[in-house]
Chain A
Amino acid sequence: MSDKILEIENLTVSFDGFKALNQLNFSMVPGELRVIIGPNGAGKTTFLDVITGKVQPTEGRVLFKGKNLRSKSEHTISRLGIGRKFQTPRVYLKLTPRENLDLSGNRHKDVFATLLGRPSKPEQRTIAGLLETIGLTTKADIPADLLSHGEKQRLEIGMLVAQSPDLLLVDEPVAGLTDEETENVGNLLLTLAESHSIVVIEHDMEFVRQIARQVTVLHQGSVLCEGSMDDVQTDPRVIEVYLGQPEESHD
């Protein structure tokens, strides 16, 4: 049981009777890079909301390293080791990338520790290294406001890493990026996958092909099928609900 990093059993979430997630089962082993795809409204973002504590499950449970996450608040779950990147980059715009990373990377997040804490030398070094990894060294001390969309995306991934979570949840990391930037982010994720477990939610099929090993397809709030990219692409059910639609003209 507990060799799974994330385990989700019979998860149902309903908003006023509408089931955003319906009897969903899902599990992941440590070190896995999993891509979740699915048409709009399949429940992908709700899925992340439940894991991170933003939404409470109506039924079922979410286990992280064997621990039930029910009724834990967002910051507790985050401290347990689950980091989340949002669909639109949410970085602190008035702070510089360096400060953004420092806040995320701070190990002691209680009021008084933060009140008295100053970034220590090793922490500063970690942040400098991280800035280099995400390619923002030269822009480390200007407000994040002035960064481009792609740079904000990378900064937010950097903030995730600074938290040093065991599980990274990444929601559409390449939305609105150029092809080159997309590839950069893909490489970044692949590098991270060497030492973290990662869930990526994505629409961009090119990108999914670049990074995916295991793919899970969500449809109407439950798992439709799971497998490698090739398996999934040839699965007739998937073609019907999702992949097939843009290619209909070929048939």
Chain B
Amino acid sequence: MLKGKSMTPETSPTETQIPRRPRRHLLWIEAGIVVAIALLILFAAPALLTAIGQEFRINMLGRFMALAIVALGIDLIWGYTGMLSLGHGIFFSLGGYAWAMYLQLQLPEGELPEFFTLYGVKELPKFWKPFHSLPFTLVAIILIPALIGALLGYLVFRNRIRGVYFSILTQASLIVFFNFFNSQQKLINGTNGLKTDTAKIFDVYAGSDDAQAIFYTLTVVFLVLAYIVCRWLTSGRIGKLLVAIRDDESRVRFSGYNPTGYKVLVFAVSAGIAGIAGALYTVQSGIISPKSMDIAFSIEMVIWVAVGGRASLVGAILGALTVNFAKSILSEQFPDIWLFFQGALFLVVVTVLPGGFVGWLRNEGQDLLRSLVGRPRRIMTYPSLAEDPEVEYERQNLRD
């Protein structure tokens, strides 16, 4: 009985060298699957939706994939690093506004975007000027949210503010940004927001079918890129360290790591990802307004991740897509019922599926499937126990 507890290992040390090769194989398989799904969504999905007369859902799918990109960013900081941000609307909107400002400025020389004349503004505000340039705008979409995220993160994490206090701070920042954008009519059209549909990009209307098809493609590409970045950050040493920070941050300090830098890094990456998502979403829905900095919207983002499964990148994407499709389909059928449904969904996830859908699939779901097909349940056991001759003997002789 005490054999398993002895200090000398029972098996030869060669066993320690096993896992390396297969992992690389798995990585290639995963890459293949990702590319295959991306190609399906790019080519098959629009054709299929057109064939069944649901053409308008293509745009919807594009927008929801943009939202899935934010969900990835949130999963990175919440699912893996344990920081629950309730303020990702800030970064999402900053990306959206940056892109919308560029589009608004696609006018003949000397003309101002229309809304400025309504408020009697004669000259373009200074901070608009760099947004004439496409390269600047593209960089700004990622960097402005990332830098603001890094600054906010640095101030918060350096002072070891964690948990609920961190969440409240992000929500408070969200309210500050909302109020600023909502009240500045003369700077960014305040509560009306910026329209992008009628703006021209490369001599095509941003709202036209051709442009929308390109934005759809770009969304798929960026979703894949965001997945790769998050996958990279959550695997390998840094991924393990993020999990360690999530589970026991102060222990990490005693192991010689300073968690602040790591947390600032992932928070900034997450904010940058949200910025890209915001730009892609804006251009496919035709408008960005302070509404995207609603408290409720940022909380919804968290719900997508919770439903799909924390600490699972696929879960975050699936969560964002399913919840949003459920939302639009349900609210088409029963306009009043969606909010109740969303509340119920969240309750169910918190009480019954704490690991989200993917978490369930990884554990209980597999057992359920196995029992449906009539195969025995998997049994978790210690490797040493499985090899223990005494246990083996008991199994063979005491069963009947």
Residues of A within 8 A of B (CB): 52, 54, 73-75, 78-79, 83-84, 86, 90, 92-95, 98-99, 102-104, 106, 109-111, 114-115, 117-119, 124, 128, 131-132, 134-142, 146, 150, 159, 163, 178, 180-181, 184, 187-188
Contact = CB atoms under 8 A, between A and B. Distances in A.
A104 B237 CA distance: 11
A137 B237 contact: no
19 contacts: A54-B250, A74-B254, A75-B255, A75-B256, A84-B254, A92-B244, A92-B247, A92-B251, A102-B240, A103-B244, A109-B255, A111-B262, A119-B237, A135-B8, A138-B11, A138-B384, A138-B387, A139-B382, A139-B383
B238 A115 contact: yes
With a 10 A CB-CB cut-off, give which of B10, B13, B233 has the most chain A CB atoms.
Answer: B13
Q: Lowest 10 A-B CB distances belong to which pairs?
A: A137-B9, A74-B253, A78-B256, A128-B16, A111-B261, A138-B384, A135-B7, A92-B244, A75-B258, A90-B251
Contact of A159 (B237, B255, B382): B255
A146 B256 contact: no
B13 A110 contact: no
A139 B237 CA distance: 20
Nearest to A187: B7
B22 interface: no
**Centre residue among B7, B9, B243, B258 by max chain A CB count within 10 A:** B7
Contacts of B262: 111, 114
- Looking at A124, A135, A138, the one whose CB has the most chain B CB atoms below 10 A away is A138
B384 A181 contact: no
Nearest to B384: A138
A111 to B, nearest CB: 4
B2 interface: yes
Contacts of B2: 180
B7 A184 contact: yes
Interface string B360-400: 00000000000000000000101110010000000000000
B5 A132 contact: no
A177 to B, nearest CB: 10
B256 A150 contact: no
Contact of B237 (A92, A102, A188): A102
A106 B237 contact: yes
A243 B261 CA distance: 47
A104 to B, nearest CB: 5
A99 B346 CA distance: 33
A94 B243 contact: yes
B17 A128 contact: yes
A132 B9 contact: yes
B354 to A, nearest CB: 14
| Secondary structure call for the B interface | helix
Contacts of B233: 115
B203 interface: no
A178 B6 CA distance: 12
A146 B382 contact: yes
Contacts of A180: 2, 5
A131 B254 contact: no
Interface string B306-321: 0000000000000000
B223 to A, nearest CB: 23
A103 to B, nearest CB: 6
B19 A103 contact: no
Contacts of A98: 16
A95 B382 contact: no
B5 A103 contact: no
Nearest to A90: B251
Contacts of A163: 255-256
Contacts of B257: 75, 103, 109, 114
Contact of B261 (A99, A110, A119, A187): A110
A55 B248 CA distance: 18
B241 interface: yes
A215 to B, nearest CB: 25
A53 to B, nearest CB: 8
Nearest to A127: B16
A98 B383 CA distance: 15
Given A90-B248, A132-B9, A95 B243 contact: yes
Contacts of B114: none
B7 A99 contact: no
Nearest to B311: A94
A115 B11 CA distance: 33
Interface in B350-364: none
B236 interface: yes
A138 B240 contact: no
A181 B6 CA distance: 8
Given A102-B240, A109-B257, A114-B238, 8 more contacts: A95-B244, A103-B244, A111-B262, A115-B233, A135-B7, A136-B9, A138-B11, A150-B5
A135 B3 CA distance: 12
A117 to B, nearest CB: 5
Contacts of A128: 13, 16-17
Contacts of B11: 137-138
B265 interface: yes
B336 interface: no
Given A92-B244, A111-B265, A138-B11, A78 B255 contact: yes
A128 B17 CA distance: 8
Contacts of A83: 254
A118 B384 contact: no
B15 interface: yes
Contacts of A110: 261
